[in-house]
């Protein structure tokens, strides 16, 4: 769905049932024609992932099929040599040829399976990478959409099925080759065996055609699966371990996890039970249907209408034809079931679209950033968070946003960072409307630290800072300088391995306090050296003195740049050039600290309330 704002075009993601609606899912396997199309896409993906091994696997399959055909001929020749009383050397030679062909077939099959397994792994990895690329390219609002997360879960599940789908697709040529060999052999022995054998595969197809992949049943419960995974992470991880134990919450969380897991298992078992019953009935029907062809071979030999070697060849051809027919039926059913899961991946790749990159970039040497009549409503909500906000940030100016919880401060900060697109209004860097820009180009000029900053616990301290500007990840001098600015250098050098220390005991490192983490997160912002700095409650875990010192450092370091600061502690933002009070999604007051105190409004009231606590 395309949406036009301020002359710029943005593609917004929409699920099949609309925003927030349940994703559309087929309860049954996809039609065979569609399954073949999905399988063909999987082969193309496999070619992109590992063309060399894919070619080798196909070549080995061709050799194995040729060996299988030769085995039928060699078997007949070996039997004929024994029946006709050929010389022992001739019999041994023919048996040796048959044994050699059998060994060659086994060897090529094993080598082909090894190559296919590796191709499947590479294909799955490539598919997962493409899913990650799609997610990374989307807007924050798209990724936060629950319907999107459900579709993402099913798409990721589909990536793991590419290997199965490829194995099914690779099984088609050998099965067809066996079928063709059997038909050719029957043409030379008994043509009437062909319809008798093929008819035996019909009941199997009718009974198994509605079988469903159990993973598809799980896919329909993707939201429950996400919650189950989240609960499992809480119960087994270290981030919430202290609170889970302090409140003795583990039994409740475990019971909730088990209930969701039981529901998923019940759905999966129900599908598997139906599949097994269908498969058992199909196997019995197939065995029964094989009797007429076997009886005809026996009658033909008993009535001396065929020789022993001819009867053996006919019997082998019948068995091979029956096996090939059954295999094709199973392959077709497997393709239809597996394709139903892989189709979720294909649909995700095809339908999810990233924001269209604009041809304009904001200038790093801007004179002012102007927010005009900005309004915003979160997707799926009917209540606006911001209403007609007007704000100007001049070059080198430090602007502070204050207000009570829920007033819209963080939302305004995210809009300023182009993480959301405004519902109405616009944001200009001088004369450049950010709606006409690629959001990534705008964010390249912004350094930001949010109150819920990320903790990359598997990375080292240096990498946790370098992630703020990945292209400078190897610039240790710049990382150390950023850490010094943020007051994190002494903290890091005191760690066992200094800047190489992993930031969690779970990865062989150490744990640091939340306040120390905040200084590391601040160092990321300093590393970017951006013309606009956005700090959203970055010091919530610091004591008042440390917060004041840090904000004073920010003010001095960014005097030639612009800064948007958000804090609940009004005493820490009094140095700002301008303080804006946000209330009910609107800016109600704006001005320097002393001016707002003299005005006697909301700011003065809040400041007095906080100051009273320290008297």
Residues 466, 339, single domain; the answer is: no
Whole domain around residue 313: which residue ranges? 2-18+49-351
Judge whether 431 lies within some domain.
no
Which range among 260-269, 376-385, 582-591, 599-608 shows the weakest confidence by mean pLDDT?
260-269
- Say if residue 466 is in the same domain as residue 344: no
List pLDDT tens digits, range 463-503. 999 998 888 999 999 999 999 988 899 999 999 999 999 99
Q: 9 vs 476, which has greater pLDDT?
A: 476
Rounded percentage of the chain residues whose pLDDT exceeds 90: 17
Question: Lowest mean pLDDT: which of 97-106, 123-132, 321-330, 392-401?
Answer: 321-330
For the stretch 326-340, pLDDT in tens is 777 777 777 777 777
555 in a structural domain: no
Q: Residue 580 — very low, low, confident or very high, per pLDDT cuts 50/70/90?
A: very high
Whether residue 255 lies inside any domain: the answer is yes
Query: What gap in Å lies between CA 296 and CA 299, rounded to an integer?
Result: 5
Q: In sequence order, what DSSP letters do the residues of 517-579 get, joined into one string?
A: HHHHHHHHHHHH--SEEEEESTTTTS-HHHHHHHHHHHHHHTTTSEEEEE-S-GGGSTTSSEE
| In a shared domain, residues 176 and 302 | yes
> Is there a domain that residue 143 lies in?
yes
Mean pLDDT, residues 208-221:
52
Ordered strands of the 398-402 beta sheet: 446-449, 532-536, 562-566, 398-402, 578-583, 586-591
Tell me, yes or no, whether 404 lies in a domain: no
Q: Over the stretch 143-182, which tens digit does the pLDDT of each residue have? A: 888 888 888 888 887 887 787 777 777 777 766 766 666 6
Same domain, 328 and 469: no
Domain assignment present for residue 566? The answer is no
CATH code at 498? Answer: 3.40.50.300
Is a pLDDT exceeding 70 seen at residue 375?
yes
CB 134 within 8 A of CB 348: yes
CB 482 within 8 A of CB 567: no
The CB density around residue 207, as the number of other CB atoms within 10 Å, is 21
- Which of these three, 351, 384, 406, is where a domain ends? 351
Strand partners, 460: 502
Query: Which pLDDT score is estimated for 15?
Result: 34
Do 345 and 470 fall within a single domain? Answer: no
Q: So what's the pLDDT on residue 201? A: 63
Residues 59 and 183 in one domain: yes
Is residue 356 one of the residues assigned to a domain? no
Give a yes or no: residue 25 inside a domain: no
Q: Which of 490, 510, 529 is the last residue of a domain?
A: 529
* CATH number for the domain that contains residue 264: 1.20.1560.10
**What is the total count of domains within the chain?**
2
Same domain for 260 and 131: yes
pLDDT of residue 530: 87
Name the maximum alpha-carbon separation found in the chain: 120
pLDDT at 529: 81
Let me know whether 347 and 491 are in one domain.
no
Asked which of 487, 512, 529 is the last residue of a domain, the reply is 529
pLDDT digits (tens, 9 = 90+) for 197-208: 666 566 666 655
The least confident of 239-248, 386-395, 477-486, 572-581 is 239-248
* Choice between 246 and 97, residue whose per-residue pLDDT is larger: 97
Query: With 80 as the cut, is the pLDDT of residue 445 above it?
Result: yes
Residue tagged 């008993």 (tokens): 302
Q: 174 vs 39, 58, 74, 208, 334, CA distance in Å?
A: 16, 10, 18, 21, 16
Residues 477 and 341 in one domain: no
State the chain's mean pLDDT as an integer.
76
Q: Is the pLDDT of residue 94 over 90?
A: no
Confidence at residue 518, expressed as pLDDT on a 0 to 100 scale = 84
């Amino acid at each position: 769905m395309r949406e036009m704002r301020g002359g710029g075009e943005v593609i917004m993601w929409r699920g099949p049932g609309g925003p927030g609606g349940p994703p559309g899912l087929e309860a049954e396997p996809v039609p065979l024609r569609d399954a073949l199309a999905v399988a063909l896409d999987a082969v193309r993906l496999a070619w992109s992932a590992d063309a060399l091994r894919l070619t080798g696997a196909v070549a080995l399959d061709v050799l194995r099929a040729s060996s299988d055909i030769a085995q039928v001929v060699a078997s007949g020749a070996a039997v004929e040599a024994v029946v006709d009383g050929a010389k022992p050397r001739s019999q041994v030679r023919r048996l040796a040829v048959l044994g050699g062909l059998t060994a060659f077939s086994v060897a090529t099959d094993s080598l082909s399976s090894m190559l296919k397994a590796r191709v499947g792994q590479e294909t799955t990895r490539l598919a997962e990478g493409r899913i990650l690329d799609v997610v990374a390219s989307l807007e924050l609002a798209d990724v936060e959409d629950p319907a999107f997360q459900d579709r993402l879960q099913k798409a990721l599940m589909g990536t793991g099925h590419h290997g199965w789908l490829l194995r099914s697709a690779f099984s088609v040529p050998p099965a067809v080759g066996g079928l063709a060999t059997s038909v050719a052999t029957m043409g030379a022995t008994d043509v009437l065996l062909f319809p008798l054998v093929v008819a035996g595969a019909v009941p199997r197809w009718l009974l198994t055609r509605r079988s469903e992949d159990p993973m598809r049943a799980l896919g329909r419960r993707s939201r429950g699966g996400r919650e189950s995974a989240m609960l499992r992470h809480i119960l087994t991880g270290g981030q919430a371990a202290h609170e889970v134990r302090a409140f003795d919450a583990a039994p409740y969380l475990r019971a909730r996890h088990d209930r969701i897991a039981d529901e998923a298992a019940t759905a999966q078992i129900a599908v598997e039970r139906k599949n097994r019953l269908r498969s058992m009935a199909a196997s019995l029907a197939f065995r029964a249907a094989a009797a007429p062809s076997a009886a005809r071979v026996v009658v033909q030999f008993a009535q001396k209408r065929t020789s022993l070697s001819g009867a053996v060849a006919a019997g082998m051809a019948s068995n091979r034809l029956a096996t090939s027919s059954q295999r094709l039926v199973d392959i077709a059913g497997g393709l239809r079931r597996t394709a139903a899961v892989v189709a979720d991946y294909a649909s995700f790749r095809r339908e999810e679209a990233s924001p269209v990159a604009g041809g304009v970039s904001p200038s790093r040497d801007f004179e002012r950033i102007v927010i005009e009549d900005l309004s915003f409503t979160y997707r799926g909500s009917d209540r606006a968070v911001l209403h007609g906000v007007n704000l100007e940030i001049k070059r080198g100016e430090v602007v502070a946003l204050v207000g009570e919880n829920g007033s819209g401060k963080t939302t305004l900060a995210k809009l300023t960072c182009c993480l959301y697109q405004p519902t109405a209004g616009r944001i200009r860097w001088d004369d450049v409307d950010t709606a006409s820009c690629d959001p990534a180009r705008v964010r390249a000029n912004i350094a930001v630290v949010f109150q819920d900053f990320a903790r990359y616990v598997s990375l080292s301290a240096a990498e946790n800072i370098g992630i703020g500007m990945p292209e400078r990840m190897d610039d240790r001098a710049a990382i150390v300088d950023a850490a010094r600015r943020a007051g994190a250098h002494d903290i890091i050098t005191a760690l066992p391995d200094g800047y190489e220390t992993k930031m969690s005991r779970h990865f062989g490192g150490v744990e640091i306090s939340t306040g120390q983490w905040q200084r590391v997160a601040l160092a990321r912002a300093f590393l970017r050296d951006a013309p606009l700095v956005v700090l959203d409650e970055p010091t919530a875990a610091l004591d008042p003195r440390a917060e004041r010192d840090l904000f004073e450092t920010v003010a001095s370091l960014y005097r030639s740049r612009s800064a948007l600061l958000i804090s609940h502690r009004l005493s820490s933002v009094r140095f700002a050039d301008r303080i804006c009070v946000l209330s009910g999604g609107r800016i109600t007051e704006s001005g320097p600290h002393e001016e707002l105190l003299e005005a006697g409004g909301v700011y003065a009231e809040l400041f007095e309330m906080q100051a009273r606590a320290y008297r």
